[in-house]
Amino acid sequence: MALPQPKPGVMDITLYVGGKSRLSGVSRVIKLSSNEAALGPSPKAVAAYRGADAALHRYPPGDAADLRAAIAEVHKLDPERIICGSGSDEILGLLCRAYAGPGDEVIHTAHGFLMYGIYARSVGATPVVVPERNITADVSAILAAVTPRTRLVFLANPNNPTGTYLPKAAVESLRAALREDIVLVLDAAYAEFMDAPDYDTGLSLAESTPNTVVTHTFSKIYGLGALRLGWGYGAKAIIDALERLRSPFNVSAPAQAAGVAAVRDQEHVTKAKAHNSKWMKITLQRLRGLGLTVTGDSGNFVLPMFDGKKGKTAAAADAFLQSKGIIARRVDNYGLPNHLRITIGADDEMELLLAALDEFMTS
Ligand SMILES: *Cc1c(COP(=O)(O)O)cnc(C)c1O
């Protein structure tokens, strides 16, 4: 008798493994492996989360109306075109479920966020991986990969783990050149960290075109990764399709309450951004001073490249940092075996990190 078999594509998925958070024999671990918020969440979000404990026996509002209203107010958007999810990951998955299936193709770039390929395979579609140029998405390479079977294009802007981005004009030219029936998904997980004047989250494209979706998360600058909260914005017709597929109570009540308080506390976001900008500048300068190549400077992480000379490989750097209690992220599975992704942490964590990297490179 034949045993149950998963659908085609499922067993081709490489299991996603999150950043490590423990080291054996180390009492103080400095976790710089998952791009979590250096300053943690807004105290107002924590208070709102705690305040939700009086009604844990109640189902959450299925439409997340208050949260959508708060997001709409802060970002000046139409609340009817917002969908909330259990992390923005859920929205990315819903997009694949709604628009792709067996025989269809889903484009993402060579060093793009891993979940795009995973969600494409989960619906039986084929991920099409296009080359990047200087670890940066390349519009002409994306367009060259389009076939009649292409249904979705995923672009993290800025991208994790490369820290590189495409300027507004390039994203607009991509949208303009893509077929109209192809959904362009702009994953803006790190948008709030951006300063570059030529950068745009893509919300204006999502507003003005019938085939562009932007996703945002509360896991990065908002520091609410534990609650699993994200949102997407796009044409009403697309949001309608996703709404039909999501679980009816996909965002918990404590997450909704915390999300409302978090998005309204833009002062905290400003503080977190300033902390990040300060350390990004210092870290890039120090790493480059050690002879390391660092290309991208976007987001809340750096991606130094280790050239392997005199044994200074990414693997050796990772092992050395771990011996000091510091956890970075190996990115071999992103096709970047010579790089380490290191999240910008708190002040004391960054001092310790930079001292450790200095010791590693000069010993
Ligand atoms: C962290 C991250 C996400 C998703 O995070 P959620 O916690 O699911 O909201 C999405 N895209 C990129 C590029 C990320 O780095």
Q: Which residue among 215, 232, 264 closes a domain?
A: 264
Question: Average pLDDT over the chain, rounded to whole?
Answer: 97
Instruction: Provide mean pLDDT across the span 120-135.
Output: 97
Cβ of 172 closer than 6 Å to ligand 1, yes or no, is no
Task: Check whether residue 58 and residue 199 sit in a common domain.
Answer: yes
Cβ of 187 closer than 6 Å to ligand 1, yes or no, is yes
Residue 227 Cα to ligand 1 midpoint, Å, equals 13
Q: Which residue among 241, 264, 287 closes a domain?
A: 264
pLDDT of residue 51: 96
Q: Which of 16-25, 69-78, 110-119, 281-290 has the lowest mean pLDDT?
A: 16-25
> Which of 63, 97, 62 is closest to 80 using CA atoms?
63
Residue 346 Cα to ligand 1 midpoint, Å, equals 20
C-alpha distances out from residue 336 to 82, 110, 330, Å: 34, 10, 8
Cβ of 200 closer than 6 Å to ligand 1, yes or no, is no
Task: Check whether residue 150 and residue 64 sit in a common domain.
Answer: yes
Specify the CATH number for the domain of residue 309: 3.90.1150.10
Q: Is the pLDDT of residue 1 over 90?
A: no
Cβ of 113 closer than 6 Å to ligand 1, yes or no, is yes
| Side-chain-side CA neighbours of residue 65 (13 Å) | 2
* Burial class of 8 by CB neighbour count within 10 A (0 to 12, 13 to 18, 19+): exposed
Q: Which of 25-39, 225-239, 243-257, 342-356 has the lowest mean pLDDT?
A: 25-39
pLDDT of residue 4: 93
Task: Check whether residue 90 and residue 234 sit in a common domain.
Answer: yes
For a mutational test of ligand 1's pocket, the pick from 16, 88, 116, 159, i.e. the residue with the most ligand atoms closer than 8 A to its C-beta, is 88
Task: Check whether residue 167 and residue 22 sit in a common domain.
Answer: no
Q: Is the pLDDT of residue 20 over 90?
A: no
Q: List all residues 6 or more positions away from 290 whose beta carbon is below 8 Å from its beta carbon.
A: 357, 358, 361, 362
Q: Does residue 209 lie within any of the structural domains?
A: yes
Instruction: Provide mean pLDDT across the span 68-74.
Output: 98
Percent of the chain with pLDDT over 70: 100
For a mutational test of ligand 1's pocket, the pick from 90, 160, 213, 252, i.e. the residue with the most ligand atoms closer than 8 A to its C-beta, is 160
pLDDT of residue 44: 98
Question: For residue 219, which atom of ligand 1 is closest to its CA?
Answer: 7
Higher per-residue pLDDT: 3 or 21: 3
Task: Using pLDDT thresholds of 50, 70 and 90, give the confidence band for residue 124.
Answer: very high
Task: Check whether residue 343 and residue 208 sit in a common domain.
Answer: no
Q: Which residue has the tokens 């367009």?
A: 143
Task: Check whether residue 237 and residue 348 sit in a common domain.
Answer: no
pLDDT tens column, 298-331: 999 999 999 999 999 999 999 999 999 999 999 9
Task: Check whether residue 50 and residue 174 sit in a common domain.
Answer: yes
Specify the CATH number for the domain of residue 127: 3.40.640.10
Q: Does residue 99 lie within any of the structural domains?
A: yes
Tokens of 229: 């909260």
Q: Does residue 52 lie within any of the structural domains?
A: yes
pLDDT of residue 24: 82
Task: Check whether residue 334 and residue 188 sit in a common domain.
Answer: no
- How many independent structural domains does the chain possess? 2
Q: Is the pLDDT of residue 27 over 90?
A: no
Q: Which domain holds residue 101?
A: 43-264
Q: Does residue 9 lie within any of the structural domains?
A: no
Cβ of 156 closer than 6 Å to ligand 1, yes or no, is yes
Instruction: Provide mean pLDDT across the span 89-94.
Output: 98
Which residue CA neighbors atom 11 of ligand 1 most closely? 189
Cβ of 163 closer than 6 Å to ligand 1, yes or no, is no
Task: Using pLDDT thresholds of 50, 70 and 90, give the confidence band for residue 8.
Answer: confident
Q: Which residue among 247, 264, 281 closes a domain?
A: 264
pLDDT of residue 218: 98
> Which of 329, 277, 239 is closest to 17 using CA atoms?
329
Task: Using pLDDT thresholds of 50, 70 and 90, give the confidence band for residue 26.
Answer: confident
Task: Using pLDDT thresholds of 50, 70 and 90, give the confidence band for residue 180.
Answer: very high
Q: Is the pLDDT of residue 21 over 90?
A: no
Q: Which of 21-35, 127-141, 147-161, 239-253 has the lowest mean pLDDT?
A: 21-35
Q: pTM for this one?
A: 0.97
